[in-house]
């Protein structure tokens, strides 16, 4: 159909970091996210059912609500701690992408010539984008990240140096 599923909307918005990097440039070889919720290098930019989340392979309304609730709880945590900035770490993102790929590679999904890998968009890198480890495993992971003080994220306030969560 030509619809750029999972990445098209984010790539079409000209969101830039303070050093001028864009999502489109960051994702030139395919999307990289932490939990399908944030992209390393783009602080405070949350996504709902982004690439490497189970969104499109789950009951979408549940996944949307799950992400909105998680983001809301995260913002409450930040406010309660006097923090204003959250950013996914490169290491956490790389580990999540590797996990996402390992789970997908245990299936036949990445072999399909479908929109799940961007096959409907000429020139788009062929990367399997949804998380297929199951909603239960995903829920356990995002709850674990939150319960550990937003592990895999750097949290900070305007006047303090960023601090890494455990």
Please name each of the domains of the chain with its CATH number.
8-164 (3.50.50.60)
- Residue with the bigger pLDDT between 85 and 15: it is 85
Q: What is the pLDDT of residue 10?
A: 84
At 163, list the tokens.
Answer: 């601090």
Q: From 139, 143, 159, select the one nearest 151 (Cα to Cα).
A: 143
Query: Which has the higher per-residue pLDDT, 12 or 109?
Result: 109
Asked if residue 67 lies in contact with residue 75, where contact means CB atoms within 8 angstroms, the answer is no
- pLDDT (tens digit, 9 = 90+) per residue, 108-148? 999 999 888 888 888 888 999 999 999 999 999 999 999 99
Place of tokens 């489109």: 24
């Amino acid at each position: 159909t030509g619809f750029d599923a999972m990445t098209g909307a984010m790539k079409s918005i000209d969101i830039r970091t303070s050093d001028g990097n864009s999502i489109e440039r960051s994702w030139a070889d395919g999307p990289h996210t932490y939990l399908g919720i944030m992209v390393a290098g783009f602080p405070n930019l949350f996504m709902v059912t982004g690439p490497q989340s189970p969104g499109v392979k789950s009951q979408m309304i549940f996944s949307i609500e799950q992400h909105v609730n998680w983001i809301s709880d995260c913002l409450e945590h930040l406010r309660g701690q006097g923090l204003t900035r959250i950013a996914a770490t490169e290491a956490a993102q790389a580990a999540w992408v590797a996990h996402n790929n390992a789970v997908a590679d245990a299936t036949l999904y990445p072999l399909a010539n479908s929109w799940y890998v961007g096959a409907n968009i000429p020139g788009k890198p062929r990367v399997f984008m949804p998380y297929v480890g199951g909603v239960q495993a995903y829920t356990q992971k995002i709850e674990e990240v939150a319960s550990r003080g937003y592990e895999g994220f750097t949290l900070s306030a305007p006047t303090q140096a960023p601090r890494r969560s455990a």
